[in-house]
Amino acid sequence: MTDWNLFDRPAPLVNMASRSFLRLGERRVKPHGFSIGQLPVLYLLRDGKAMSQRDLARAAKVEQPSMAQILARMERDGLIQRTPMPGDGRSQLVSLTKAAKAKMPAARKALHRNQDHALAGFSAAETATLLDLLRRLNRNLDRMVAEEVEVGEAVEA
Amino acid sequence: MTDWNLFDRPAPLVNMASRSFLRLGERRVKPHGFSIGQLPVLYLLRDGKAMSQRDLARAAKVEQPSMAQILARMERDGLIQRTPMPGDGRSQLVSLTKAAKAKMPAARKALHRNQDHALAGFSAAETATLLDLLRRLNRNLDRMVAEEVEVGEAVEA
DNA sequence: CTAATATAAATAGCGACCTATGTAAATGGT
DNA sequence: ACCATTTACATAGGTCGCTATTTATATTAG
């Protein structure tokens, strides 16, 4: 009665959409030797830039161990290389290999073809509204996630 | 330039929101001995109903192996039980244990407290709009996922 | 009634995340 | 200089999901 349909609330709808995006994206990008989680890294390092793991994690908005795993797989697949960070023995600079850079344009195109098919039937205004509402939703969620961590830590202390 | 901000497109925004919802939901529900992926099962079997794995997967909109894993963990944790399906030796009827049913109300309350904090600052109309746009987005995505599977299979044949 | 096919689960293996913890290299205050 | 803290990564372990494949039981066609 209260939730007559399991999926007719924000969290499940968002979750479904996310899973679909991931499935579709994976199909597009996999034939080119990439996978979805690597896209932020590819994007961030695209024109020869080099960054630390920490900065990559921050910029991609994932936790450090998640980024570590992504980078491990990318290294395994010959997509990145690491060089020591000058002046800090703890850190390394990560950059794309030539192979990765060579394969990017095709993958990019494949994704572009895919992208925004999802928004078929949406007017420009509706698309803008959706993006705006999602940004606001994310602001709320980010705050909630952060707050709870604080609480958690406060309890510990 | 084209995508000046990595996250300012539908897929990443939806993905971020989904991850945040999952993190928050997990925190709420874990102390009660459940986890997020189990919620559809709990919901579907709530008042003593019994269903096959196949029907649970369909209703929860996940693939069969995903549901198999969810059920395996729920069985491990004493949340479900399986009884043979009368008249079909391949299948079993899944139902909630007393323990699971006993723990549900508290978990439900915990989630409710959480829920829709996410929509703080949203007017009723905005919430409705968001839900509507997400439903439409999902319709598109579902179609795309289904189409591609067809294509894939057609190529094989 | 048997052979081919379809269906229900199980299994193997992978990717994207997370939390919690450990380790080694800076850094900062005394 | 020295010890405590912070910081950057690494590692262990877990959940959610997917694809591909196998196994066992129905079902259907000939």
Q: Which residue is nearest to nucleotide C16 (CA to C1')?
A: A37
Residues of B in contact with A40 (CB under 8 A): 6
A83 sits in which H/E element: strand A80-84
Q: Is B21 exposed, middle or buried (0-12, 13-18, 19+ CB in 10 A)?
A: buried
Average pLDDT over residues A77-97: 96
Confidence label for A151 from pLDDT (cuts 50, 70 and 90): low
Residues whose CB falls within 7 A of nucleic chain C? A 22, 35-38, 61-63, 65-66, 69-70, 73, 87-90, 149, 152; B 15, 19, 23, 52-54, 64-65, 68-69, 71, 85, 88, 90-92
Mean per-residue pLDDT of chain B: 91
Residue B23 lies in a domain: yes
Contact: B14, A21; criterion CB under 8 Å: yes
Nucleotide nearest to B55 (CA to C1'): C8
Confidence label for A147 from pLDDT (cuts 50, 70 and 90): confident
Confidence label for A5 from pLDDT (cuts 50, 70 and 90): confident
Residue B153 lies in a domain: no
Predicted pLDDT at B4 = 64
**What is d(CA A117, CA A72) in angstroms, rounded to the nearest whole number?**
32
Q: Which long-range contacts (CB under 8 A, 24 or more apart) does B97-105 make?
A: B100/B42, B100/B74, B101/B46, B101/B48, B103/B32, B103/B33, B103/B34, B104/B42, B104/B46
In this structure, what CATH number is given to the domain that contains residue B36? 1.10.10.10
Give percent above pLDDT 70 in chain A: 91
Residue B41 lies in a domain: yes
Predicted pLDDT at A148 = 67
Predicted pLDDT at A116 = 74
Q: What is the pLDDT of residues B125-140, one digit of tens each?
A: 999 999 999 999 999 9
Tell me which residue of A18, A76, A13, A36 sits closest to B127, measured CA to CA: A13
Q: Identity (one letter) of the amino acid at A19?
A: R
| Domain, as residue range, for A71 | 10-118
- For residue B134 the two structure tokens come to 């997400």
Residue A109 lies in a domain: yes
Tell me which residue of B58, B20, B17, B46 sits closest to B107, measured CA to CA: B46
DSSP secondary structure, A33-67, as one string? T--GGGHHHHHHTTTS--B-HHHHHHHHT--HHHH
Residue A155 lies in a domain: no
Q: Identity (one letter) of the amino acid at B109?
A: K
CA of B116 to C1' of D10 (A): 37
Total domain count, chain B: 1
Q: What is the pLDDT of residues B7-59, one digit of tens each?
A: 899 999 999 999 999 999 999 999 999 999 999 999 999 999 999 999 999 99
Contact: B10, A130; criterion CB under 8 Å: yes
Contact: B60, A6; criterion CB under 8 Å: yes
Q: Closest residue of B to A6, CA-based?
A: B40
Q: What is the pLDDT of residues B99-108, one digit of tens each?
A: 999 999 999 9
Residues of A in contact with B6 (CB under 8 A): 40, 43-44, 59-60
Confidence label for A157 from pLDDT (cuts 50, 70 and 90): very low
Residue A21 lies in a domain: yes
